Structure 1
Amino acid sequence: MDEETYVELLSLVSPFIAKCDTVMRKAVSPHERLSATLRFLATGRSLKDMEYSTAISRPALSKIIPETCEAIYEVLKQYIQFPKTASEWLKIASDFDEKWQFPHCLGAIDGKHVRIVQPKDSGSYYFNYKKTHSIVLMAIANAHCEFIYCDVGTNGRISDGGVINNTLFYEKLVNKQLNIPEPEPVTFDLDLEYVFVGDDAFA
């Protein structure tokens, strides 16, 4: 993350994570809270390791990191806008047609395994085909490679096709609650469905 991006993120989350000093001690600053959280997310290091590199106690880190993650989510959730109307879907389809010459495409979908340390007593629950333990990030991107939807948390043992079945997106898709436009002619009066593009892991 470059400094400009970090400073912008810090300014957004500071009102949510700033704490008051007390007569007992000085509060951990928003800068320290954010940098510790980002380091934890980027490295996956244990709180014991983080304690030495951040000079913040383990009990404090165990509260700071979840609080800061919630703040990051609150200030950044506006950047992932899932289409709600047929006209918003048509705008995405138009961008795909113009930029990638793919008509009637509403999004590119794929999953990414995020490696984790095996949770205690989890057995093979998170064990994936790459022979590591992971959770899956499932995302849909528009024509400009920007996320319009993401779902995180399904255990890595599940295939991409199975992961999508666990998402709210899939539930609304099969129940026709996404306001996807009806098929329209492309050429020679041939009606073409609006589609999502993905690899053959998806049925």
Structure 2
Amino acid sequence: MAVRGSCITFSLENAKRRDNLEKRRQAYTIRNMGLLATDINYIKIFRLSEELIAQLEEDISPFLTPAKRRGGISNRNKILCTLAFFASGSYQKILGENVRTYISQASASRAIRTVVDAINQPDIIKKYIRFPVNASEREILKQKFYEKFKIPGTIGCIDGTLISMVRPKEHEERFYCRKGYHARNAVIINDPDLNIMHVDVTFGGATHDSFIFNNSYIKTHLEQLNNTGETVYLLGDSGFPLRPYMMIPCSNPEPGSREELYNNLHASARNTAERTIGILKGRFRCLLVHRVLHYDPEMVGKIIKACCVLHNICNRAGVPPVELPSYLQRQEDTFLQILQQGSQNSISDLDSGRLARSRLINRLWRGQNRQQ
């Protein structure tokens, strides 16, 4: 019995040592990511606060497989590894020499794929990225846009951005953009508070914004609303087609004209699209053009959508934006000086769009004159 008791004691002590070793291993892993136990450092390294990370883990844990063996990477550390990669765009930033002892690059890559797949589950996407589907939601957006920018009927702003990636193994021509690199073209629609309501990553960098919009369910939805008589607009740049539900700037308006007034108000409101994309890329620098995502096109699309989900989580929680250093902003601007894309307009659609825009311009002009 004494021998049996000694064996049990030894086994318990051995198990305790293994547990302590595992706790130290997990702690070393996180510490070597640079983590200190403050929300400021969580946000600096992972872009989410500790509370938001816990919320994310709760959301996606049904879609994550727990570690199969003792010493495997926990779900929390898979999430931290993924967030650190999104924030920096570099494996080297999250895999220092000490960390590599515990998380190899191959393990980190698998962890990132697992978490990205979990965030891309339809239930998660629908929870955080949602285009207004009923009249009451649209009216709230119209009121917010009008209060901020004085353009009635607006529910969102739209813009496209290129996310660079390595050369794909198949259909390279679909992803080679006019700026001379391979990319996904992400078309994003935002609300006045810089939340992302819709992101389309279906097409490669060779595809124009106008084509992506013309082949989206958003266009069909807006057409249906317009046909019922509802006034509803997206605001886009001249790369998008002029439609009764898509307002783009007037070309070369006369100084002091009603068209110039319209353009000024349009530019002020549509600046939210540029700011939304700028904040998205500032937070998650894996999306910056010079980072170049080393994944296949499908995975690149999933990473973009995952970052959009996380952007909305941060934005709605009031997490402050992360400003890009000036040298990174210059690099981004240099690569992304995209030539104006010719939009695809049929004559009837173009005439309808011109008429709708003319009515809006006149309405804005009358409103301006009443205020004087």
TM-score over 0.5 (shorter chain): yes
Query: Structure 2 length normalisation: TM-score?
Result: 0.44
CA distance in 2, matches of 1:86, 1:179: 13
Residue range with higher mean Cα deviation, 144-153 or 69-78: 69-78
Q: 1:120 to 1:105 in 2, by over 3 A?
A: same
Does the alignment pair 1:98 with 2:147?
Answer: yes
- Larger proportion of strand: 1
What residue in structure 2 maps to residue 13 of structure 1? 56
CA distance in 2, matches of 1:140, 1:81: 10
Q: Deviations over 1:105-157 (max 9, x none)?
A: 12111111111111124433211122221101111111222212122241010
Aligned to 2:118, which of 64, 71, 90? Answer: 71
1:180, distance to aligned residue in structure 2 (A)? 8.6
What residue in structure 2 maps to residue 198 of structure 1? 236
Counterpart code for 2:57: S
Counterpart code for 1:69: V
Q: 1:38 to 1:181 in 2, by over 3 A?
A: farther
Does the alignment pair 1:26 with 2:64?
Answer: no
- Larger proportion of helix: 2
CA distance in 2, matches of 1:120, 1:39: 27
Aligned identity (percent) is: 26
What residue in structure 1 maps to residue 13 of structure 2? none
What residue in structure 2 maps to residue 188 of structure 1? none
Q: Deviations over 1:135-192 (max 9, x none)?
A: 0111111122221212224101001101212322223334x1x589734xxxxxxxxx
Q: 1:117 to 1:43 in 2, by over 3 A?
A: farther
Counterpart code for 1:12: Q
What residue in structure 2 maps to residue 190 of structure 1? none
Q: 1:6 to 1:67 in 2, by over 3 A?
A: farther
Aligned to 1:118, which of 164, 167, 179? Answer: 167
CA distance in 2, matches of 1:11, 1:155: 34
Q: Deviations over 1:16-57 (max 9, x none)?
A: 1462463xx31202332123223444455579x969765434
Residue 174 of structure 2 aligns to a residue whose secondary structure is coil
What residue in structure 1 maps to residue 82 of structure 2? 37
Residue 119 of structure 1 aligns to a residue whose secondary structure is coil
Higher gyration radius (CA): 2
Does the alignment pair 1:132 with 2:177?
Answer: no
Contact 1:34 1:68 in 2 (8 A): yes
Q: 1:72 to 1:12 in 2, by over 3 A?
A: farther
CA distance in 2, matches of 1:153, 1:42: 23
What residue in structure 1 maps to residue 250 of structure 2? none
What residue in structure 2 maps to residue 148 of structure 1? 197
CA distance in 1, matches of 2:159, 2:95: 32
CA distance in 1, matches of 2:114, 2:214: 30
Does the alignment pair 1:169 with 2:218?
Answer: yes
Aligned to 1:87, which of 118, 124, 136? Answer: 136
Q: 1:45 to 1:199 in 2, by over 3 A?
A: same
Residue 84 of structure 1 aligns to a residue whose secondary structure is coil
Q: 1:134 to 1:46 in 2, by over 3 A?
A: farther
Residue range with higher mean Cα deviation, 90-99 or 1-10: 1-10
What residue in structure 1 maps to residue 352 of structure 2? none
Q: List runs of 5+ in structure 2 lacking aligned partners.
A: 1-38, 242-372
Contact 1:37 1:68 in 2 (8 A): yes
Q: 1:70 to 1:182 in 2, by over 3 A?
A: same
CA distance in 2, matches of 1:80, 1:31: 23
Contact 1:135 1:155 in 2 (8 A): yes
Q: 1:90 to 1:179 in 2, by over 3 A?
A: farther
Q: Matched residue pairs, number?
A: 189
Query: Structure 1 length normalisation: TM-score?
Result: 0.76
Residue range with higher mean Cα deviation, 123-132 or 134-143: 123-132
Q: List runs of 5+ in structure 1 lacking aligned partners.
A: 184-192
Over the aligned positions, Cα root-mean-square deviation in angstroms equals 3.1
Contact 2:162 2:186 in 1 (8 A): yes
Q: Deviations over 1:44-90 (max 9, x none)?
A: 5579x969765434554454222211333455642323211112111
